[in-house]
Amino acid sequence: MYNKVTLREMELKGKRVLLRVDFNVPLNSQLQITNDRRIRETLPTIQYLIDKGAKIIIVSHLGRPDGKVVPEFSMKPVADCLRMLLKKPILLSSDVSGTETYKFVRSMKEGDIVMTENVRFDPREMTNDAEFAKELAGIADVYCNDAFGTMHREHTSVCKIAEYLPSCIGFLVEKELQILGRALDNPKRPFVVIIGGAKIKDKISLISRMIDVADVLLIGGAMAYTFLRSEGYNMGRSIVEKDKLQLARLLLEKARTQHTKVVLPVDHMATGEFSFSADSVSVSTKKFPRTAIGMDIGPATIRAFKHYINKANTVLWNGPLGVAEFQKFAKGTTEIAQELANAKAYTIVGGGDSAKFIEQLDLQDKINHVSTGGGAMLKLLEGTDLPGLRYIKDKA
Ligand code: AMP
């Protein structure tokens, strides 16, 4: 369990607090925010700072401007959105740690908010640079990291800056750590983990760790074909990672030794071509046609997965169970998402694709916790140290 210093332990009245958030929100071609969840999730932290009389300097990245000033990645839509949500004026500086930010910060009063421009406009952000960290620290008295989605990046405003200021985590990071930490250390059992997505290669450590902590592992998505192939089934022309067959076998062996049940698809929706409009038929794992391509889990698998979800007291889900971006092959993912929404279990969803899917279906209010971290959440669940956390002290 994590025990990091939080805002509650900090002296905040009248202090300039540099608040690093992850406002890397999706924008459409008119530069309008299409999903403001990451902004709304930090409101408790911002409101607390306002109430405590801090002077709040908000720093975030948006997109990948690669160390250059790229107008499409300006924080302007984010500042507009936050202004609306808080019903408060927010000054947006045209630089990050330059003269305008200094000028704005100098005239701040308690409860005021200044937002800097995109921190990734500075090429030193992504190199965990000491000089840039000192420059940023120079405008503040306290550093607060509430950027959970960026915690796995060893970047200056996420990591190095904490060496130069009294530092703490914000309430969003605290919430994510508490919920994900509890799922790992002390879940209410049975604990069922659903893993989907394209490749085993990307989730080896996650699968291995989940075998350690879960009671049941439901595996869908393309990665299931590699597991099934490793068990001797012919999977036709479905995606199979030939160089991971041995690893898949070892992971299944590990699960058997540890008595963690792994449920692989017993049937599939298969097509003759990889296309959004292809017609599909359901085929069983045992009789998979040599020329077919698996695109989604089939009806019997959906039923089996639902059975385990309904027996669970905690469910964690990451990764689509089929090619869910093609409507025809989103059925498995949709039905499992809906089952989670209705489940009695404590439900956690994380990872960019799965969280997006939950929101498309408007189910976010029926899931106990939709994590704001994609990569960061996976790293945390894998048991990998998050750099952003390493830089914050434990409570005394
Ligand atoms: P990940 O980023 O590892 O969670 O993988 C997400 C991707 O997995 C999505 O783009 C899905 O289209 C893909 N995926 C899931 N199931 C399949 C499948 N049966 N065949 C090909 N791709 C799949």
pLDDT in tens, 116-125: 999 999 999 9
In angstroms and rounded to an integer, the radius of gyration of the C-alpha atoms of the chain is: 23
Centre of ligand 1 to C-alpha 221, Å, is 6
The pLDDT of residue 22: 98
Kindly state the percentage of the chain with pLDDT values over 90. Answer: 95
| Preceding amide of 190 cis, omega within 30 | yes
Instruction: Look at residue 1 in the predicted model and tell me its pLDDT.
Output: 75
Active site includes 52? no
Which one from 38, 175, 229, 306 is the annotated catalytic residue? Answer: 38
Q: What is the pLDDT of residues 140-184, one digit of tens each?
A: 999 999 999 999 999 999 999 999 999 999 999 999 999 999 999
Query: Which atom of ligand 1 is found nearest the CA of 198?
Result: 8
Q: How far is the CA of 320 from the centre of ligand 1 (A)?
A: 6
Residues with beta carbon inside 6 Å of ligand 1?
Answer: 196-199, 202, 221-222, 239, 294-295, 319-320, 322-323, 325, 351, 353
Q: What is the dihedral of CA 234, 236, 238, 244, to 10 degrees?
A: 40
**Phi-psi domain of 319 (left: phi exceeds 0; alpha: psi -120 through 50; beta: other):** left
CA of 170 to the centre of ligand 1 (A): 33
Please confirm, yes or no, whether 379 is among the known catalytic residues: no
Residue nearest atom 6 in ligand 1 by C-alpha distance: 197
Predicted pLDDT at 2:
86
In this predicted model, what pLDDT tens digit does every residue of 37-61 receive, in sequence order?
Answer: 999 999 999 999 999 999 999 999 9
Q: Which of 88, 182, 199, 209 is catalytic?
A: 199
Q: How far apart are CA 80 and CA 124, in angstroms?
A: 26
Torsion of CA 333, 338, 340, 342, to 10 degrees: -170
Instruction: Provide the pLDDT confidence category of residue 223 given band limits of 50, 70 and 90.
Output: very high
The preferred substitution site among 353, 357, 360, 381 for testing ligand 1, maximizing ligand atoms within 8 Å of CB, is: 353
Q: Is 352 a catalytic residue?
A: yes
Closest CA to ligand 1's atom 11: 323
Q: Does domain 7-173 have CATH number 3.30.300.30?
A: no
Please give the Cα distance from 367 to 344 (Å, whole number): 10
Task: Tell me how far the alpha carbon of residue 117 lies from the centroid of ligand 1, in angstroms.
Answer: 35
Distance 269 CA to ligand 1 centre (A): 14
DSSP string, 40-62: HTTHHHHHHHHHTTPEEEEE---
**Average pLDDT of the chain, as a whole number:** 97
pLDDT score at 128:
98
Using pLDDT thresholds of 50, 70 and 90, give the confidence band for residue 356. Answer: confident
How many A from CA of 139 to the centre of ligand 1? 44
Catalytic residue chosen out of the listed positions 63, 181, 272, 352: 352
Active-site entry in 111, 181, 272, 375: 375
Ligand 1 atom nearest the C-alpha of 351 is: 4
Same fold, 7-173 and 187-382: yes
**Alpha carbon 372 to its chain's center:** 5
Name which CATH class applies to 187-382. alpha beta
Per-residue pLDDT band at 336 (split at 50, 70, 90):
very high
Interatomic CA distance for residues 258 and 216, integer angstroms:
11
- Of 194, 323, 329, 349, the one to substitute when testing ligand 1's pocket (max ligand atoms within 8 A of C-beta) is 323
Confidence bin at 198 (pLDDT 50/70/90): very high
pLDDT at 352 over 80: no
- Residue 136, judged by CB atoms within 10 A of its CB (0-12, 13-18, 19+), counts as buried
Non-local CB neighbours of 253 within 8 Å, separated by 6+ positions: none
DSSP string, 280-298: -EEEESTT--TT-EEEEE-
Torsion of CA 336, 251, 312, 233, to 10 degrees: 50
| Residue 13 near residue 138, CB atoms below 8 Å | no
How far away, in angstroms, is 223 Cα from ligand 1 center? Answer: 8
Q: Where are the domains of the chain?
A: 7-173, 187-382
pLDDT confidence bin for 353, thresholds 50/70/90: confident
Burial of 396 (0-12, 13-18, 19+ CB in 10 A): exposed
Clarify whether 4 is annotated catalytic.
no
Residues 7, 170 contacting (CB under 8 angstroms): yes
For residue 318, pLDDT over 90 is answered with: yes
The pTM (predicted TM-score) of the whole model is: 0.94
